[in-house]
Structure 1
Amino acid sequence: MRKLKHLPFIILCMLLSGCGAKKNTISTETAMQTSEIELKGETESSSKNATETTAKSSSEADTESMTVSPSETDLDTDIETSPVANEDTENNTPETKYITIDLSTARETHPTGDAAAPFDLKIVSEEENGIDFANEWYDRKGLSLPMIGTDWNSFYDDNYQYLWSGEELYIYENGTGNCLYVLTYPTDKWYINGNNACLKDGIFYGASVTNGYAQPDTCFMFAYDLENNKLLWRSADQTCNSMNFIVKNNVIICGYGFTSEDDYLYQLDLHTGEVLSRLTLKKQPDLLVYQDNTLYVHTYSYNYTIEIK
């Protein structure tokens, strides 16, 4: 009886417990649904942002592509036009002329014409040099030789640069660097390491030198028309074995001498090769430098300062 008396109370408690469980189940399900909705919202938001970012990146990429395109077009244009430009440059480059100057049968010869007037040469100073090197004296004078490099096989003037390679003389044009001529002519190798050539108005002036005592057909100067491949004149023997010569106006100044021979500073007519005058020196002139109407002549054992009028 006592158990039955409490039965309604027990049933009520059981009902209340079931409702609580159901309520908790509903709350749990609601919370899960809410989380799923929030997660879905975040996912959709992220997807939307990603979509916007992708769209923006695509737009920027398109913009960059539009910006880059002209440069690429310009590059293509440059590449296409470059061969044409190179072809024009090649077409403007003169062809190198290879000329052999045969002096084996050439004898002294002079064309007719009015003779040039020689300069008045006056020795200002004559001093023994103790057999020094020429460049040491010129350095002390503040002068420079036109030779380039330690071998002195290259030299220059206002218009051209000259380079001895083997037994050939290469002539390059200043400014462009174009090789205009490659010349071959007989001269002693000892004398090809100096400024002993000059191209002026299409005429080449050079020296054919033999190292040794005086003998026929040696140590002379010549003028050669490179365009017409023609010898214009050939000077007398033993008029030039200096390592360089000076061209001033219509006169060539050069030197000749040897151990037991007379030593002279010669003036030759530029257009005929005739000897205009000669000045006696104590030793063979080997190097000449001209500056401010003064000629600085180095010999084996003497240095000369000569005034030119």
Structure 2
Amino acid sequence: MKSKIGSVVLISLGILLAGCGKETEEIGEETVTTVEESVAANLTEDDREDLAESQEAEEPETVSTIIEIENPSWDYYIEGEAVSVTSPLKLVKLTEEANEITDTEKWFAENDLSLTEVGDERYFCEINSPYDSEERSIQVTDRESGESFTVDLEGFRYADDFSEADESFVEQIIRYAKAENGVLYFSVGHLTYAGFSPHNAYVAAVDLTEKKLLWKSEPLVSNANNFVIAGDVLLCGYGFTSEPDYLYQLDLTSGKVIEEIPLKSMADYLILKDNILYVRTYNTDYTFQVE
């Protein structure tokens, strides 16, 4: 009898909520709450247990996996044999305008831009990489499967190319991370001149299923606040005071640089929207048509 009552209540609750869907859009969330409370007030203890079990069954159980990734090289690296190189995207420069340096928020607002891209809803990446801490990892949650991965990147903290006197400011942090199709892409680097520790500012890819590093780009290609994935290409930017400033295109399957475009100053943000690539640099804003 318990299961029949529970089923009837669950079905009744579903009908009530489904039937008022259109109405609640018009009269607001308060009405939805009133309906739920009205139904819940008439549930027996057994019915409440059935409802709780049903809600729990709808949410996938989170399975946490720790992936420790060693840094095999401070130069370019690829796991296995090199693959064929993807052709770069055709980027046609549309605009190049000086900005006010401090008007970044205005740039985002006027162009209706956001760092959240279509497709980001499946994977959630949380970076744990503050300075002077034991944390150097990325937590990746797959919302579809319920799987959670902690990718330990301690081996990417310090390169082997700096003097002891410079250690306090060449510590490398994880700058940005994005997961797509079971692969985690991340950028790592320090925030000072390359001359103090040149093996920094690169992008790498980790296979979350095989739990291994797929590739790591050559150094000095990515110290912007983010990067963009467009098809088989990863777009990133590097620059610094008295250093060359470039927009780079990397082959997504190998991490190889396939094109570099000079910029007037260091890239801060890259946003792809409606086949237009918006590039915010220290003192200049660009737009490129992606063909």
| TM-score computed with the length of structure 2 as normaliser | 0.68
Distance 1:291 1:280 in 2: 21
Call closer, same or farther: CA 1:124–1:88 in 2, change over 3 Å. Answer: closer
Map 1:290-301 to 2 at 5 A: 290-301=272-283
* Matching residue of 1:211: 191
How far 1:98 moved relative to its partner? 2.3
1:269 aligns with 2:232: no
Aligned-partner residue type, residue 137 of structure 1 = W
* Matching residue of 2:220: 238
Distance 2:173 2:104 in 1: 15
How far 1:305 moved relative to its partner? 1.1
5+ long unaligned stretches in structure 1: 1-73, 148-155
Map 1:250-289 to 2 at 5 A: 250-289=232-271
Aligned length, in residue pairs: 228
Aligned-partner residue type, residue 125 of structure 2 = Y
Larger Rg: 1
Map 1:180-191 to 2 at 5 A: 180-185=148-153, 186=156
Per chain length, whose mean CA-contact separation is higher, i.e. which structure has more relative contact order (CA < 8 Å, sep 6+)? 2
SS at 1:257 equivalent: strand
Report the identity percentage: 31
Aligned-partner residue type, residue 103 of structure 1 = N
* Matching residue of 1:116: 86
* Matching residue of 1:164: 127
Q: CA offsets per residue over residues 54-75 of structure 1, 9 Å max, x none?
A: xxxxxxxxxxxxxxxxxxxx73
Contact 1:267 1:278 in 2 (8 A): yes
1:134 aligns with 2:104: yes
The structure carrying a bigger strand percent of its residues is: 2
Contact 1:257 1:264 in 2 (8 A): yes
* Matching residue of 2:70: 102
How far 1:293 moved relative to its partner? 1.1
Let me know the Cα RMSD of the aligned residues: 3.2
Structure 1 residues 259-268 or 156-165, which shifts more?
A: 156-165
Call closer, same or farther: CA 1:112–1:301 in 2, change over 3 Å. Answer: same
* Matching residue of 2:27: none
Call closer, same or farther: CA 1:210–1:292 in 2, change over 3 Å. Answer: same
Q: CA offsets per residue over residues 84-113 of structure 1, 9 Å max, x none?
A: 5577568x4131122232326454123422
Distance 1:87 1:132 in 2: 48
How far 1:134 moved relative to its partner? 1.9
Distance 2:70 2:143 in 1: 27
* Matching residue of 1:37: none
* Matching residue of 1:75: 44
The structure carrying a bigger helix percent of its residues is: 1
Aligned-partner residue type, residue 157 of structure 1 = D
Structure 1 residues 167-176 or 287-296, which shifts more?
A: 167-176
Call closer, same or farther: CA 1:80–1:124 in 2, change over 3 Å. Answer: closer
SS at 1:96 equivalent: strand
Distance 2:270 2:171 in 1: 19
5+ long unaligned stretches in structure 2: 1-42, 158-169
How far 1:234 moved relative to its partner? 1.0
Call closer, same or farther: CA 1:279–1:246 in 2, change over 3 Å. Answer: same
* Matching residue of 1:56: none
| TM-score computed with the length of structure 1 as normaliser | 0.64
